[in-house]
Every structure is written in C-alpha cells, then in structure tokens.
Amino acid sequence: MSKILSLFLLLFLFIGFQGVAQQKIVLVIDVGHGGRDPGNLAVGKKMINEKYLNLKIAKKFGAYVKKHLKNVKVIYTRKTDKYVSLEDRTDIANDNNADLFISIHCNSNPDTAIYGTRIHIHSEKNKKAVRFAKSIDNQFTTRAARKSIGVCDRRFRGYDLFVVKRTNMTALLIETGFMSNPAEEKYLNTTYGQDIIASAIFRGFREYIKKNLPKKKTRTKKTGLIYKVQISASPVKLSKSKFKHLKMKVDESYYKQNKYKYKYTVGNAKSFGEANKLRRKVAKKGFKDAFVITEKK
C-alpha cells in the first residue's frame, strides 16, 4: 500500500470512528425546580406542586424516547426531588455536548381563566429553535388536543430565560399547562394528562430529529469501510472551477509532506460497487484516471 493511500485510509478510519463516537443524538431533559424550590404551588385539593408534576411528565417523555429512539441518549438534570441550580442545569447540557435541550415546567397566572401550553425559546432568529418548538407545539394542538398559547422568544417576553439562553445547543422551555386554571391543574395531575403531554413532546421531538438531525454515518459503523473516488492530486491548490462541471461535492485534503500536497475526492460510499459507479461517472466527465480508495480490516 502506498504511503499516500495509507494516509488516506488512516484519515478515513479516523473520520469513521468519529462517526461512531458521535452517532448518538444527545438529549438533555431538564426537569424544572426540585428540592427546596417547589416551583408553582399546588392550588386545588390533592394536587401536587410543580416540581413533582415536572418530574412525572419528564420521566414519561424520557421513557418514550428510550423505548422508541435507540439513537438518542437521554440525560436528565435531575431524576429525584433535589435542588439543582440553573448553572448546573446548563453545565450538564454544555459539558455533555447535548444536541437538544428541553426544559419541562408548569405555568401559573393570577388570571385563573388563562390556560394552555406555551413554548419558550431564546430568540426567534434561531431558526432551528423555532422549528423545534413548532414541531412540539403542533403536536400539542393536534394529537394532544390541547390549547396552545404559542411559541415565544425573549423579545416577546421582555426578559431572558437563563436555561435557554446559556445552553449552547437548540433549547426549549416547555410550559405544559397552567396550574392556576382549575381544569388544567386537574388534567396535569392525572396520569392520563401527563401521558398525553409527554407523548406529544415525544412525537414533536421525534419529528424534529427525523427532519433536522439526520443519522450520523451509520454506514461507517456497520461495515467499517469507506469508499471514495480520488479524482485528482496536485502539488498546488486547484481552483474549484476545475471540478464545477461534475456538479458534485469535491473534498480537498492537504498533505504537507507529499509532493502532490492536494488530493481531491468525491463520494462517501458504503460499497465498492457504489464507488465504482461514481468512478465511471467522473471518468466520463474527464477524470479518466480516477480510482477508488478502499480500506479493509
């Protein structure tokens, strides 16, 4: 095996391992309040404080994710009735390089007639957060048949929410309903209501990751092989216009020690056949000497 080829293979293997290591989508479920911080206090008879409701809904949501989405790793900020500071909550998400963050809460208002779900994001300029919020909001109003009072950001609120501001990933804070509204408080206190809310969050989450977080390089894990087509190598950097007519994504790699420092490849195939097909295609478009690079363990 030539030196250049070995280098390539090492690089691909490295990328492959990264693919495997990063494969799981990391979801942090932040369970609002806890311990000495009860959140909103129960209003009706036999009703429970917000910190307990949050935990019940969050655990149901997490259980759905664990059961149905094997590619998602769930991390809770708390699983018991304990106090966790806001800094610790966001640290947990940031330190674990979470992809998504969902904080679970229950709302309250002096006006007991107000009810419905609300989803908070940091800024409407963050299109991912908007899509993520709307995906869940849509589930609340359709399948869960809840009333929604919408998605809102800091400009709408007029103040910042620490956990959605300080987290580095797409983050939501979900108010699952108003404890100050007697009917909604009752609903939130039933296993049925908690189930409906949790499954709506789950479905919205599932829909969002399906469309917006594509599976990360599962092919690498399955076969341990990557096939690419090298179309060119050059001692100097080539202009992209040279490959423009291919209408493909061309990857450039740089090797300081080699005479042909710049390598150009296309494709990221899981089989030789697939890569070879691609080689024939680029050969027809002028790259007659293109060849497939492969690695076998």
Supply the minimum distance, in Å, between the C-beta of residue 77 and Zn ion. 13
Closer residue to Zn ion, CB minimum distance, 109 or 271: 109
Q: Which is nearer to Zn ion, 105 or 217 (CB)?
A: 105
CB of 106 to Zn ion, least distance (A): 6
- Nearest distance in Å: CB 294, Zn ion: 54
Window of 103-111, 126-134, 205-213, 269-277 that interacts with Zn ion by CB under 5 A: 103-111
Q: Looking at beta carbons only, is 39 or 204 nearer to Zn ion?
A: 39
Does 78 engage in binding with Zn ion (CB under 5 A)? no
How do beta strands 291-293 and 117-120 pair? unpaired
Q: How far apart are CA 202 and CA 240, in angstroms?
A: 43
Degrees to nearest 5, angle at CA 101 with 99 and 107:
165
Determine the Cα angle at 194 with ends 149 and 148, to 5°. Answer: 10
Please choose, from the candidates 109, 106, 115, the residue with its C-alpha nearest in 3D space to the C-alpha of residue 173.
106
Residue 39 in the binding site for Zn ion (CB under 5 A): yes
**Which parts of 182-211 interact with Zn ion (CB under 5 A)?**
none
Short-list 74, 72, 39, CA closest to 59: 74
Token output for 69: 């989405």
Contact flag: residue 34 with Zn ion (CB under 5 A): no
Quote the least distance from Cβ 80 to Zn ion, whole Å. 17
> DSSP for 9-76?
HHHHHHHHHHHHHT-SEEEEEEE--BTTB--SPP-STT---HHHHHHHHHHHHHHHHHHH-TTEEEEE
Q: How near is the Cβ of 122 to Zn ion at its closest, in Å?
A: 17
How far apart (Å, rounded) are the C-alpha atoms in residues 177 and 147?
9
Rounded least distance, CB 72 to Zn ion, Å: 24
Interacting stretch for Zn ion, rule CB under 5 A, among 104-112, 125-133, 235-243, 283-291? 104-112
State the minimum distance, in angstroms, from the CB of residue 266 to Zn ion: 51
- Give backbone dihedrals phi and psi of 103, rounded to 5 degrees, phi first: -100, 130
Q: Which of 283, 285, 278 is nearest to 293 (CA)?
A: 278
Can you tell me which of 32, 62, 204, 267 binds Zn ion, judged by CB under 5 A? 32
State which residue, 129 or 163, has the beta carbon closest to Zn ion. Answer: 163
Stretch that binds Zn ion, among 27-35, 150-158, 198-206, 257-265 (CB under 5 A): 27-35
Q: Is 105 in the site for Zn ion (CB under 5 A)?
A: yes
Are the C-beta atoms of residues 263 and 289 closer than 8 Å to each other? Answer: no
Residue 16 engages Zn ion in binding (rule: CB under 5 A): no
- Which helix or strand (DSSP H or E) is residue 291 part of? strand 291-293
From the list 39-47, 78-86, 179-187, 214-222, the region that binds Zn ion by CB under 5 A is 39-47
- Judged by the rule CB under 5 A, the positions of this chain that interact with Zn ion are 32, 39, 105
